[in-house]
Structure 1
Amino acid sequence: MEGFGGSGGSRNRRITMASSTGRGGSRPPPLCGGRRRVVATKKRGWSNPLSVNNTVKKLQRREISSKPNRASAITKSLHRFRNFRLTERYDIHDPVGQCSLVLPLLMKRAKVIEIVVVHDIVFALASSGVCAAFSRDTNKRICFLNIYPDEVIRSLFYNKNNDSLITVSVYASNNFSSLKCRSIRIEYIQRGKPDEGFPLFETESLKWPGFVEFDDVNEKVLTYSAQDSIYKVFDLKNYTLLYSIADKHVEEIKISPGIMLLIFSRGQSHVPLKILSIEDGTVLKDFNHLLHRNKKVDFIEQFNEKLLVKQDNENLQILDVRNAEVKEVGSTEFMTPSAFIFLYENQLFLTFRNQTVSVWNFRGELVTSFEDHVLSHPDCNTNNIYITSDQDLIVSFCKAADNQQFTDRRAGSINISNIWTGKCIAKINSSNAISSKEEEEGSASSRSRQIEVNMVEEALEDITALYFDEDRNEIYTGNSNGLVHVWSN
């Protein structure tokens, strides 16, 4: 299982150990049932992470500056996504082994599970563990990142600090029993030399249920060795060890800007918690949170000075850890989501439940419900949605609207929705992502037009991964056949 990682270039991604089958497996967190994504676009200074003044100033800036610009931002977005078309297609599959090393994993097609775009390179990872790099300038495959025949790549992370891509892999040679990390500079990949990278964290035992988590916001790496129950924090800039946490009673660690929340084994009526400075591990606060007896904890989440706690069939509790004030939201109003996205710039969070998305503030109020936005996949993960760096738009793959006339009803749509209003400001579907009849007259036959229609519908049938390159203004999608499609205007 991979934890929620940030869109728009900021990521907080946890990769847990793979099972012996080579598929992703994990130990379900005893106190935290949901999968979580942290989204933040700027690294802030934290002289005191729990400072009242820090939060007040951020809220004042947001209230003063963002609202007047919201209308113009929506207008700009409408123009930005106008006339998007299918412009390119890449194929991960390589049945004849054209790369220098013939990979057995390439003999069958597999769905695309992750897309990362760095500079002019598109990285596409398949569920089989094969990862290919394509050039947007030449529209050709550069290389495969698998440098060993038995390597199964589980996840990717772009480290902007040294312009490198980190791959996290397991290997058949050790029964897929341990995570291995490798750093490859982008310039090496551009030259088709991914083998010139170097291994990371070689001294760490990352066997199941161990994990490695890359935190782009705080520029840290967190590892967990289940063998000796030790958490270690490394500097993401140079991979040096900063400090260790050795405590067998720690059940889970959650990371926010500047701080870490340690969740310990629960007692009968409480759960011990600690808040640490992520820079040096200093304990900032040590306290117990009261629980209802004999009821499981659905989740415990940390967002700056706010702690979100939800137990089975109980109200959501929003605790201010500075003054112990608690705000409760009724269990019928706030039901346990399958995933979160925290919007640090806007002091909001998104919840995902039953293929729908909602936006909440930390007063426990529902801010936005999205229109025409039923996610196509019940298993929401952050490889098939994208939040822009301004945290004002969400790009996602949705089911086709009931009143929409598609040639092929299996095709869904790529929806771009405004997070503040819930409005769908743009949509890419099989009725608007092809050339109009007027454009076709005199330039192509009806047969070529039908081919174009079929290609668009095929690309929109089953999108399994999605990425938005904000610099190029291009959307990349991957499907269950191992194909990557590029949409642009």
Structure 2
Amino acid sequence: MMIEGRRISASPRPCSGRRVVAKKRPRGEGFVNSVKKLQRREIRSKRDRAFSMSNAQERFRNMRLTEEYDTHDPSGHCSPVLPFLMNRTKVIEIVAAHDIVFALNHSGVCAAFSRESNERICFLNVTPDEVIRSLFYNKNNDSLITVSVYASDNFSSLKCRSTRIEYIRRGQPDAGFALFESESLKWPGFVEFDDVNGKVLTYSAQDSIYKVFDLKNYTMLYSISDKHVQEIKISPGIMLLIFNRSTSYVPLKILSIEDGTVLKAFNHLLHRNKKVDFIEQFNEKLLVKQENENLQILDVRNADVMEVSRTEFMTPSAFIFLYENQLFLTFRNRTVSVWNFRGELVTSFEDHLLWHPDCNTNNIYITSDQDLIISYCKADSDDHWTEGNAGSINISNILTGKCLAKINATNGSPKVDDCSSDGGNLKKPKLLGGKLKKPKLPSHSQRMRSTVSEALEDITALFYDEERNEIYTGNRRGLVHVWSN
């Protein structure tokens, strides 16, 4: 998923950060000229938009279940020291780079699969006591960064390793090298990879020091040492430092992401004795929401404040910021909404009820053009033909909310149904002699153990490879499925 700004905490369990950002290309400037971006979007012709929607429908129309991979290691290759690594657990993260698919399961085992040979290349766990927590593909040097904890360290500190994709393709995961060895990343320390700015942010709780590294060569650029900093949020070109609040205000600083120069320092007034639900920075806009209060949208350039009624904007469980479109997505109660920075609801999605109530962003992918969202969703409420507990993979247009296509098991085949042409009404099996004729299931290769319906059950991770036009899904059984046309 074009989901960047990934923060990995040193807590005992992987954290799912509330703030996830989507980007199209890196930004070097500080305050982005949003007026020009809005003008570009507004002058875009309807014909071009219609062509884009039609093209998206064609891309996903004939997707089928074509391959199945297994992340489970029954041989115990990774587990002579840690028996729990031998357990079959759900896939929690999928990353693809070129022709390799990386799948990480909940126990901490990560496997690499080749799309060319359709074979497992290797496991990325280099030592017997390694538990991998998260993955990050660094396109700057074509490498995969793994973030791990180790039994020898009582699983207390995060350790990062960079391995070039070519070494993994050769089956040499141990050919990588350690990163940030000088940093003590014990809880509540963390490491955050920011692909938008090409930076890495680390926090050492031991000495309360934040450090910023270059993602291209991992050299340290500068550090921030202040025990009163409560949180740091990253936007294109800038960082927002949130300090410990006083009774009636919270001190804030905006820094240049490149060299740490302070661009602006100010206090934001708060309602007394009310907790802060969130403070988020998006270029020149600051979003502040307190418990049972209106959303405030502050323009930090001129201190203008706009408010959105608390009944219209309720605190979401997660955000996705769309830097190219000057919009942001909110997730709440399985629904997705699109907002602009005038506090207006831009889009409500049709036929796009998310499967997971906790908004697991590993089940959501935003395309690089930021025009499509691909999610694991509930099947149609009036669809009585789905076998088992299968959901669907829905592809929707972000600007219009229209469902363009979906992958489901309604008719017993891995066909993608075009939602826009028939309003989402799916073809039902015919009744013959008053009895329901069950659709015939497609044949599968010997390596395929799951039916289409089974492959669409309990999906726990999703990734869309835009280069290959393939969707990869992982489920609770540790299986990875390839959907391709």
Counterparts of 1:130 and 1:304, CA distance in 2: 37
Q: Deviations over 1:41-90 (max 9, x none)?
A: 112331xx236xx2222222222236552111111111111121110000
Counterparts of 2:41 and 2:352, CA distance in 1: 26
Check 1:165–1:200 CA distance in 2 against 1; reply closer, same or farther (3 A cut).
same
1:213–1:223: 8 Å Cα contact kept in structure 2? yes
Check 1:160–1:360 CA distance in 2 against 1; reply closer, same or farther (3 A cut).
same
**Residue 271 (structure 1) aligns with:** 250
User: 1:405 deviation in Å?
Assistant: 2.9
Check 1:449–1:196 CA distance in 2 against 1; reply closer, same or farther (3 A cut).
closer
Paired residue type of 1:321: V
Q: For structure 1, which segment, 196-205 or 105-114, has the greater mean C-alpha deviation from structure 2 after superposition? A: 105-114
Check 1:42–1:446 CA distance in 2 against 1; reply closer, same or farther (3 A cut).
closer
Counterparts of 1:244 and 1:454, CA distance in 2: 50
Residue 28 (structure 2) aligned to one of 27, 33, 45: 45
Counterparts of 1:291 and 1:282, CA distance in 2: 26
User: 1:25 deviation in Å?
Assistant: 5.8
Q: Secondary structure at the match of 2:41?
A: helix
1:110–1:480: 8 Å Cα contact kept in structure 2? yes
Q: Deviations over 1:170-217 (max 9, x none)?
A: 011111100000000001100000001000000000000000000011
Which 5+ residue runs of structure 1 have no aligned equivalent?
1-6, 27-33, 437-444
Give matches, 1:383-402, under 5 Å: 383-402=362-381
Residue 81 (structure 1) aligned to one of 60, 64, 68: 60
Counterparts of 2:81 and 2:314, CA distance in 1: 49
Counterparts of 1:453 and 1:461, CA distance in 2: 14
**Residue 12 (structure 1) aligns with:** 5
User: 1:448 deviation in Å?
Assistant: 6.4
**Residue 210 (structure 2) aligns with:** 231
Q: Report whether the alignment pairs 1:460 with 2:456.
A: yes
1:341–1:349: 8 Å Cα contact kept in structure 2? yes
Q: Deviations over 1:321-377 (max 9, x none)?
A: 001111100000000000000000000000000010000000000000011111101
User: 1:98 deviation in Å?
Assistant: 5.9
Paired residue type of 1:374: L
Residue 133 (structure 2) aligned to one of 141, 146, 154: 154
Counterparts of 1:400 and 1:410, CA distance in 2: 9
Residue 124 (structure 2) aligned to one of 138, 145, 157: 145
2:79–2:85: 8 Å Cα contact kept in structure 1? no
Check 1:144–1:295 CA distance in 2 against 1; reply closer, same or farther (3 A cut).
same
2:408–2:414: 8 Å Cα contact kept in structure 1? no
Paired residue type of 1:81: F
Paired residue type of 2:14: G
Superposition TM-score, scaled by structure 2 size = 0.91
Q: For structure 1, which segment, 68-77 or 327-336, has the greater mean C-alpha deviation from structure 2 after superposition? A: 68-77
Counterparts of 1:160 and 1:317, CA distance in 2: 36
Q: For structure 1, which segment, 452-461 or 225-234, has the greater mean C-alpha deviation from structure 2 after superposition? A: 452-461
Q: Secondary structure at the match of 1:65?
A: coil
1:400–1:409: 8 Å Cα contact kept in structure 2? no
Give matches, 1:81-480, under 5 Å: 81-97=60-76, 104-432=83-411, 434=413, 449=443, 455-480=451-476
Check 1:428–1:447 CA distance in 2 against 1; reply closer, same or farther (3 A cut).
closer
Count residues in correspondence. 461
Check 1:290–1:414 CA distance in 2 against 1; reply closer, same or farther (3 A cut).
same
1:387–1:394: 8 Å Cα contact kept in structure 2? yes
Q: Deviations over 1:219-250 (max 9, x none)?
A: 10000000000000011111111000000000
Residue 485 (structure 1) aligned to one of 478, 481, 484: 481
Counterparts of 2:444 and 2:162, CA distance in 1: 44
Check 1:190–1:286 CA distance in 2 against 1; reply closer, same or farther (3 A cut).
same
Which 5+ residue runs of structure 2 have no aligned equivalent?
416-438
Counterparts of 1:354 and 1:288, CA distance in 2: 33
User: 1:407 deviation in Å?
Assistant: 4.0
Counterparts of 1:374 and 1:447, CA distance in 2: 26
Q: Secondary structure at the match of 1:383?
A: helix
Check 1:243–1:305 CA distance in 2 against 1; reply closer, same or farther (3 A cut).
same
Superposition TM-score, scaled by structure 1 size = 0.90
Residue 24 (structure 1) aligned to one of 14, 17, 33: 14
User: 1:106 deviation in Å?
Assistant: 4.1
Counterparts of 1:335 and 1:320, CA distance in 2: 21
Counterparts of 1:155 and 1:66, CA distance in 2: 41
User: 1:398 deviation in Å?
Assistant: 0.5
Instruction: State the Cα RMSD in Å.
Output: 2.2
**Residue 425 (structure 2) aligns with:** none
**Residue 442 (structure 1) aligns with:** none
User: 1:478 deviation in Å?
Assistant: 0.1
Counterparts of 2:298 and 2:37, CA distance in 1: 19
User: 1:96 deviation in Å?
Assistant: 2.1
Q: Deviations over 1:142-181 (max 9, x none)?
A: 0000011111100000111111000000011111100000
